[in-house]
Structure formats: C-alpha cells, structure tokens
Amino acid sequence: MAESGAGPRVSQLPAIVAKISADLELQAVTTTVQAGVGDPQIALTRSAIELALGELLENAIKFHPQHAPTVQVVVSRSNATTVNLRVGDDGLTLSPEQLARAWSPYYQGEKYFTGQATGMGLGLSMVATLVWGAGGACRIYNRSDGPGVAVELDLPIAE
C-alpha cells in the first residue's frame, strides 16, 4: 500500500483536518496537538492521511442523528515510535457487535438502524488497511463521557 512521497509532519495535521472539514462543510471541529508530541514525520503518505481523516469525518456526519456532529481531533504521543490520532464525535453509540465488526469489509452497522446507509461498508476497512499496512494500529470504541464514538489510529513515525 505504500506510495512514494513523504508523510506529513504532526504540525501539518491541523491544516489537513481544517481543509477536509471545510470541504465537507463540517462546522464544529477542533484539533488539538498535545504538548510533548513534537513535530515528527508520519510514516503514512499525506494522501493516506487525507483518505483516513476524510473517511472518519464523513462517517461522523453520516452517522450523526442531525448530520451535524461536534468532532474533536486530538494528536498525542503513544510512545517513541508512534503518534496517536483520536477522532471523537457526539453521534450514535454503537452496539458491541457493531464495534467488533467495524473494521470488516462490507460491514454496515448503520443498516440495523434505518436500512438507509449509503456506501458499501468499505470505509473503515480502507482506513485500517492503510494504517495496518504502515505498521500502525486502529481502535474504535464508544465514548465514556457522552454519546458517540472515538476512533484511534496509532500512526508510525517515519525513520
């Protein structure tokens, strides 16, 4: 899955999130880079990061009851070799089965709510393939402080 080209630096992530948010007409998005993260280069290409963030932000809109989520993007340091990118929204809370199958190709958890899901159920599996292909990790879970989900991507740092 690797393509040629350097990945973005952490300092570029807020601008990438802002551009995708503007393109999606998503108003309530905040991006925070926590202290101590530094400015390492991420081992995924810029286009891979844009694809992953675009998918996560589109899902936040698609699966929000009013299609107007409040989204928090937080960048922190997992350890010496990875950066953690957390995208949390205030949309729907997922069942244990939906959480367990979220990364599976062709799985559409939303169809159990309305049957109106658009797409083929490939978005999160594409995100996982990009992240796993670079040696990273993915997690999805319900937020503990309110409705909605959080997706965490552990992104390797370029050497």
Domain of 115: which CATH number?
3.30.565.10
Helices 46-62 + 123-133 axis angle, to 10: 150
2 or 148, greater pLDDT: 148
Q: What is the mean pLDDT of the chain?
A: 88
Mean pLDDT of the region 35-61: 95
**C-alpha angle 106-108-110 in degrees, rounded to nearest 5:** 170
Strands 82-89 and 70-79: antiparallel
Listed range (17-21, 85-89, 104-108) with the worst mean pLDDT: 104-108
64 DSSP β-pair partners: none
Look at residue 5 and tell me if it is in a domain: no
Look at residue 117 and tell me if it is in a domain: yes
Structural domain of 15: 10-156
Look at residue 3 and tell me if it is in a domain: no
Look at residue 1 and tell me if it is in a domain: no
Does residue 43 register a pLDDT over 60?
Answer: yes
Look at residue 22 and tell me if it is in a domain: yes
Mean pLDDT of the region 46-51: 95
pLDDT of 98 reads 87
Angstrom distance (rounded) from CA 4 to CA 142: 35
pLDDT of 115 reads 46
Look at residue 134 and tell me if it is in a domain: yes
DSSP state of 12: G
Look at residue 125 and tell me if it is in a domain: yes
Q: Give the number of domains in the chain.
A: 1
Contact 97, 56 (CB under 8 A): no
pTM of model > 0.75: yes
Look at residue 19 and tell me if it is in a domain: yes
pLDDT band (50, 70, 90) for residue 82: very high
Does residue 111 register a pLDDT over 70?
Answer: no
pLDDT of 7 reads 93
Mean pLDDT of the region 68-85: 95
Does residue 50 register a pLDDT over 70?
Answer: yes
